[in-house]
A and B are shown apart, each in its own frame.
Chain A
Amino acid sequence: GQQVMQIPQYQHVQEGEDFTTYCNSSTTLSNIQWYKQRPGGHPVFLIQLVKSGEVKKQKRLTFQFGEAKKNSSLHITATQTTDVGTYFCAGVNYGQNFVFGPGTRLSVLP
């Protein structure tokens, strides 16, 4: 079955440093979604990428979808303490199944 991997598993950064998490799927995706889960909270939708090579920005967050539609990345510029949480990618295959990656837990030290 479809597998979605993310690296790194954990990332500790100093406030103001940049952060990147990478997502890889074993199969070609129809789209990919990113979610953020704060400690003790539930996943909250950030963005959806659909097109090959697509790049979207939300303030300090930049999302990319690979040309082959099998990988994606999330980059945060100049992290803030409010960025703390776990970032999940969720790959959607053409059968419309949703598979979440294991997540990257981000810690930001003030």
Chain B
Amino acid sequence: EAGVAQSPRYKIIEKRQSVAFWCNPISGHATLYWYQQILGQGPKLLIQFQNNGVVDDSQLPKDRFSAERLKGVDSTLKIQPAKLEDSAVYLCASSLTGAVAEAFFGQGTRLTVV
């Protein structure tokens, strides 16, 4: 079974630039999560999708972050404009259905904002 795919693995950008991350969840998984993990901290949920609908985006900084999951499969997370404090690993995870099932994480995208 293929895992959760994310790209790119690494990204370095200057502050005020924009960046996009891509995630392809495990086939058949209805729930998709984007997490931000700052070094030394636990993953912080940014947004949760159920199919192509948003379930929870309460911690997404909507003035600069946006995410979409077209057709309920792949998802993209965008930051525009980036700030220094956005430097983190962005993890995508998927589960069969909601938080009653285990979440499978991708390798993550390490973002450095300089």
Taking beta carbons and an 8 Å cutoff, which residues of A are in contact with B?
1, 30-31, 33, 41-45, 48, 88, 90, 92, 96-103
Residues of chain B contacted by A88 (CB below 8 angstroms): 42-43
A101 touches B42 (CB 8 A): yes
Residues of chain A contacted by B55 (CB below 8 angstroms): 96
Q: How far, in angstroms, from A30 to B98 measured CA to CA in the complex? A: 12
A98 touches B100 (CB 8 A): no
Contact pick for B99, options A43, A44, A96, CB 8 Å: A96
A-B pairs with lowest CB-CB distance, top 10: A100-B42, A45-B102, A92-B99, A42-B105, A102-B42, A96-B99, A100-B43, A98-B99, A103-B42, A43-B105
Given contacts A43-B91, A97-B56, contact A31 B43 (CB under 8 A): no
Q: How far, in angstroms, from A99 to B55 measured CA to CA in the complex? A: 14
Residues of chain B contacted by A31 (CB below 8 angstroms): 99-100
Given contacts A42-B107, A42-B108, A45-B104, contact A97 B43 (CB under 8 A): no
Whose C-beta in chain A lies nearest to the C-beta of B101?
Answer: A48
In the complex, whether B25 has a CB less than 8 A from a CB of chain A is no
Q: How far, in angstroms, from A98 to B32 measured CA to CA in the complex? A: 12
